[in-house]
């Protein structure tokens, strides 16, 4: 096992990783920017190293500074968390060159699955259901037009190297497809340095269902079942739950097994998520593979009892996954509410600043993953998510009741948070029924 791990991240996920390391008796070194210098979570680290000023490009995204910190602190491994450098194959590669273990996939596995066209190829081979569309990158416009006519409009043009919802164009007819392919290629080249684009069927109404998987260095991979993350705004997940309500178990089981096979075929080590859209007939279509731990991993931990962060460290250190697939049973229902420092009544305007009042809920089935507390000043520099409320109960209904009870106890002020929005959503009859689609929240907010 590692002796010392550097955490190349901040906030709640840095704290989550430190806690996992402490339970594995690993020393932690946490890097921080000057914007985070007074953050209380840094006290949980054995050592902290300043890597630069607030702007991410000068600190959390600065590979040279992070590697220098790792060398000064003499760590064996780096955990990237999510966001920042987590999905950068070049970072994984540099770590390897510097003989520091990257806690996550190898640069090769990350490149295979991080590229949307490559990932689709691996997915087809592993019998993971994908969107119908062009097989690879578009070379001839006529070929794309032919494929679109076959699968039917609307279609979506996507960049192979795209990410963060960028580089996508929806086309509702042939004329639009003909004018947009070249534009999308130019845009993709400028934005991602790779002009490869492809076309696939565009699904109007869908749910977002994703599968948690994990692989080790011995050729093993298992899945930890699914999460439903359909409650979104601008492609940002707001609420996640596991398992996905109303989905036929036989169907999901097949998709889960294929997802595990997919990462196994890519020689993938670590935690990954295979994301899907699911249509009204419960057909699944793969969106992409996220090659890192996700914000919403705790709901999977709640229903399976598996510590995903700890296991990702163990497999990086060369240990075998300590479970067989049949050991992973779903127990109860879990819901996560992302607590963002935003004013949802003012178009989700960020609300950074000093937290004066902080009172957290507790009791059976409540978990709070946060770096916030009274006296903590939320810096304006980063993502607005300041924590997550995760509830677990025997049934979905009980989980919703418990979440509402917890949200009513939760007090954070005077900064604005999304707690009141979550309390409203827990009482929403459509959410209670289960199975809202990915545009539901935006429609609701418009009314």
Phi, psi of 437 (to 5 degrees): -95, 175
**Of 33, 20, 66, 43, which is closest to residue 371 (Cα–Cα)?**
43
Nearer to ligand ADP, 156 or 317 (CB): 156
**Residue 181: CB minimum distance to ligand ADP, A:** 16
**Residue 438: CB minimum distance to ligand ADP, A:** 5
Q: What secondary structure letter does DSSP report for 320?
A: P
The rounded distance, in Å, linking the Cα atoms of 284 and 201 is 12
**Residue 200: CB minimum distance to ligand ADP, A:** 5
Nearer to ligand ADP, 41 or 276 (CB): 276
**Residue 405: CB minimum distance to ligand ADP, A:** 31
**Residue 169: CB minimum distance to ligand ADP, A:** 11
Determine the straight-line distance between the first and last CA of the chain, rounded to whole angstroms. 54
For the question of residue 292 being annotated catalytic, the response is: yes
Nearer to ligand ADP, 202 or 268 (CB): 202
**Of 350, 347, 351, 341, which is closest to residue 442 (Cα–Cα)?**
347
Nearer to ligand ADP, 165 or 329 (CB): 165
Say which residues have a Cβ less than 8 Å from residue 254's Cβ, sequence separation at least 6.
none
The rounded distance, in Å, linking the Cα atoms of 24 and 17 is 11
The rounded distance, in Å, linking the Cα atoms of 446 and 390 is 27
**Residue 115: CB minimum distance to ligand ADP, A:** 11
- Please count the other Cβ atoms lying within 10 Å of the Cβ belonging to residue 381: 17
353 forms beta bridges with 378
Catalytic residue among 227, 292, 396, 402: 292
The rounded distance, in Å, linking the Cα atoms of 80 and 67 is 12
Beta strands in 118-269 (DSSP E): 155-159, 168-171, 197-201, 207-215, 221-233, 236-242
Nearer to ligand ADP, 72 or 149 (CB): 149
Nearer to ligand ADP, 31 or 287 (CB): 287
Determine the residue with CB nearest ligand ADP: 203
Which residue reads 């985070």 in tokens?
Answer: 36
Nearer to ligand ADP, 293 or 372 (CB): 293
Phi, psi of 213 (to 5 degrees): -130, 160
- Residues forming contacts to ligand ADP in the complex (CB under 6 A) are 131, 156, 162-166, 168, 200-203, 208, 235, 275, 277, 287-288, 438
The rounded distance, in Å, linking the Cα atoms of 134 and 200 is 6
**Of 117, 316, 77, 328, which is closest to residue 215 (Cα–Cα)?**
316
Q: How far is CA 415 from the centre of its chain?
A: 26
**Residue 133: CB minimum distance to ligand ADP, A:** 8
Active site residues: 292
């Amino acid at each position: 096992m590692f002796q010392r791990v550097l955490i190349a991240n901040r906030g709640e996920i840095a704290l989550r990783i430190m806690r996992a390391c402490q339970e594995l008796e690993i020393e932690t070194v946490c890097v921080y920017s000057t914007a985070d210098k007074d953050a209380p979570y840094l006290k949980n680290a054995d050592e902290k190293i300043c890597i630069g000023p607030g702007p991410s490009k000068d600190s959390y995204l600065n590979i040279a500074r992070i590697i220098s910190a790792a060398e000064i602190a003499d760590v064996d491994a780096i955990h990237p968390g999510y966001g920042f450098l987590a999905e950068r194959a070049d970072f994984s590669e540099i770590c390897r060159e510097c003989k520091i273990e990257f806690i996550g996939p190898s640069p090769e596995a990350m490149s295979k699955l991080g590229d949307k066209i490559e990932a689709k190829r691996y997915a087809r081979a592993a019998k993971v259901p994908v969107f119908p569309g062009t097989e690879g990158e578009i070379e001839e416009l006529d070929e794309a037009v032919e494929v679109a006519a076959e699968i039917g409009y609307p279609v979506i043009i996507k960049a192979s190297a795209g990410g963060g919802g960028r580089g996508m164009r929806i086309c509702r007819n042939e004329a639009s497809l003909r004018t947009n392919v070249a534009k999308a290629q130019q845009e993709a080249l400028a934005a991602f340095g790779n002009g490869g684009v492809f076309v696939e069927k565009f699904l109007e109404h869908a749910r977002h269902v994703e599968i948690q998987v994990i692989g080790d260095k011995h050729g093993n991979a298992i899945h930890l079942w699914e999460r439903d993350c359909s409650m979104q705004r601008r492609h940002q997940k707001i609420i996640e739950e596991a398992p996905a309500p109303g989905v036929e178990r036989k169907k999901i089981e097949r998709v889960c097994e294929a997802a595990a096979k997919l990462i196994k075929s890519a020689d993938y080590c670590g935690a990954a998520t295979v994301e899907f859209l699911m249509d009204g007939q419960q057909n699944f279509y793969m969106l992409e593979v996220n090659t890192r731990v996700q914000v919403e991993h705790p709901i999977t931990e709640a229903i399976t009892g598996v510590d995903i962060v700890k296991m990702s460290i163990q497999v990086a250190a060369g240990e075998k996954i300590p479970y067989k697939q049949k050991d992973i049973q779903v127990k109860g229902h879990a819901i996560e509410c992302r607590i963002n420092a935003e004013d949802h009544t003012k178009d989700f305007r960020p609300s950074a600043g000093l937290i004066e009042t902080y009172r957290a809920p507790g009791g059976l089935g409540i978990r709070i993953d946060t770096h916030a507390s009274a006296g903590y000043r939320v810096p304006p520099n980063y993502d607005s998510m300041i924590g997550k409320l995760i509830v677990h109960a025997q049934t979905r209904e009980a989980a919703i009741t418990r979440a509402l009870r917890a949200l009513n106890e939760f007090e954070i002020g005077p900064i604005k948070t999304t707690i009141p929005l979550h309390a409203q959503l827990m009482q929403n009859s459509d959410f209670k029924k289960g199975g809202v689609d990915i545009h539901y929240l935006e429609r609701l907010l418009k009314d």
